[in-house]
Amino acid sequence: MKYYNLMGKNTLVVRVDDEKTAEFSAKNPVRKMVDQYEKSFKGSYTLENLKSAFPQMKEIKRVPYAKSVDTINDYNSKQAAAEKKINDVSLQEMNRYISMFPAENPKIVSYEDLNKIRFMMYAASRSIDSYLAEPSEKTIIALTKGLYGLLKDAKEKNNKKYINAILRAGKNVNPQDYGFSVGDVSEEGGNRGQRSIRRPNRPN
């Protein structure tokens, strides 16, 4: 039996019993990587296959592995509780909260920063092939919930870590070059939240 840390710290680990039997533990945001692995290698957990999918993997001892599993499970449990709280909020309330957030919390984020965060989240949700396609209502709702959760978490924990990370990633990006403007951050969309994220125009 072998134990591996596949990426990050307490993010994705696996216990390999043999080449045909393994158990992954993953934080929800990276669970898709496990699904992709299973789809590609169809139940084969050879060291070669694992390394090809997770080149930064490292073998670890049983105790660190067990601690990582506990941490991952705790994270997923808390995230599920947070998602339930978000699902109890109407999209109209979310849009109103987002639109008023910079005015009510200027030390956390400005309207300009909020616009950039919205754009970066939108861009991250699009693939190259679908850049010009209108986002589906499902995508728009997911982005609205994601932005609401991000702002709510920053305020409740008084911690801008994730906001700052997004802003650093978009340091050299000007949303207005893509059709986003501060004016887009508004209480649009009513209960459906349909216009909480507006598709940018592709630059000429």
Buried b (16+ CB within 10 A) or exposed e, 32-54: ebbeebeeeeeeebeeeebeeeb
Q: How much is the pTM?
A: 0.60
Question: What is the per-residue pLDDT for 147?
Answer: 92
pLDDT of 184 > 50? The answer is no
Percent of the chain clearing pLDDT 90 (strictly above): 50
Give CA angle at 119 (117, 120), nearest 5°: 65
Residue 21 vs residues 7, 38, 68, 103, 157: alpha-carbon distances, Å: 20, 12, 20, 53, 40
**Structure tokens given for 178:** 């893509």
Q: What is the average per-residue pLDDT within 179-193?
A: 45
pLDDT of 18 > 50? The answer is yes
More confidently predicted of 90 and 176: 90
- How many CB atoms are located within 10 Å of the residue 133 CB? 11
Radius of gyration of the chain (CA): 20
Question: What is the per-residue pLDDT for 53?
Answer: 94
Question: What is the per-residue pLDDT for 181?
Answer: 58
Per-residue confidence at 79, pLDDT binned at 50, 70, 90? confident
Residue 42 vs residues 17, 28, 56, 68, 178: alpha-carbon distances, Å: 16, 21, 21, 25, 41
Question: Which of 152-156, 174-178, 184-188, 194-198 has the highest average model confidence (pLDDT)?
Answer: 152-156
